[in-house]
Amino acid sequence: MEERMTLRPHHGLCIRHFTGKGYSPGFVENMARVITQLHDTPEQEICLRMREDILCGNCPHNEPGGCTSGQKVRRYDAAVLALCGLEDGAVLTWGEFERLVEERILSAGLLETVCRGCQWLALCQSIYSPKSNFADN
């Protein structure tokens, strides 16, 4: 298995809604690569941190002084952690985190509560459908 992966908590939602759209070809390519890795290895260990992660490197909002979206994305991160009952620095598998995001945020209809103010919100709301396979596990 790959070494532990750092993920911003709200990226658990972004990954769930990714359809190949993004800020730039480089961003989309990196996002698709990371998502493929996570889907192929749900036992991948992740560390949830409210700071730059594996997806931020190719983002145009990622500047030397930090994320230009600033407090907004920290608010998304904090909401995801609180709703999932986790803390900054939590270590778990991708599969565990994906299940928490699904059950406590998406199935509960709380996407807009977490992501209000994101430019992609309407798109993400339009493509969400519950993951039926979680009910079988």
Any idea how long the chain is? 137
Does residue 76 bind ligand SF4 (CB under 6 A)?
Answer: yes
Does residue 8 bind ligand SF4 (CB under 6 A)?
Answer: no
User: Binding-site residue total for ligand SF4 (CB under 6 A)?
Assistant: 10
Closer Cβ to ligand SF4, 86 or 111, answer by number: 111
- Considering only residues 98 to 137 of the shown chain, the ones binding ligand SF4 according to CB under 6 A are 115, 118, 120-121, 124
Does residue 50 bind ligand SF4 (CB under 6 A)?
Answer: no
**CA-CA distance, 25 to 7, in Å (whole number)?**
21
Closer Cβ to ligand SF4, 1 or 105, answer by number: 105
